[in-house]
């Protein structure tokens, strides 16, 4: 079970960077890989979630991590 992480934690920032790189590799994100979930990142997540038939939240969910093969550690 994944716990909610603070947006200021080092682990959270690391996961966001990996998700940004994953979305970039799939052609969904072209912003800065900075570990920040900004508006373009949320838009990219929503498009990715829609295309991969995941729950559309615009946030990093366990389903997003699984689809991108990213371990939350």
pLDDT tens-digit series, residues 17-66? 999 999 999 999 999 999 999 999 999 999 999 999 999 999 999 999 99
Q: What angle do CA 43, 6, 32 make, to 5 degrees?
A: 40
How many Å apart are CA 63 and CA 61, to the nearest integer?
Answer: 5
CA dihedral 31, 35, 39, 41 (to 10 degrees): 60
The set of long-range contacts for 48-54, using a CB threshold of 8 Å and a minimum separation of 24, is 48/23
pTM score: 0.87
**Contacts with 50 (C-beta within 8 Å, 6 or more apart), sequence order:** 56
Statement: residue 5 has pLDDT above 70: no
């Amino acid at each position: 079970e994944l716990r909610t992480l603070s947006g200021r934690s080092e682990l959270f920032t690391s996961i966001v960077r990996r998700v940004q790189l994953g979305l970039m590799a799939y052609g969904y994100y072209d912003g800065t890989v900075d570990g920040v979930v900004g508006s373009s990142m949320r838009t990219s997540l929503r498009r990715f979630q829609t295309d991969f038939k995941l729950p559309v939240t615009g946030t990093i969910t366990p389903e997003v991590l699984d689809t991108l093969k990213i371990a939350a550690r």
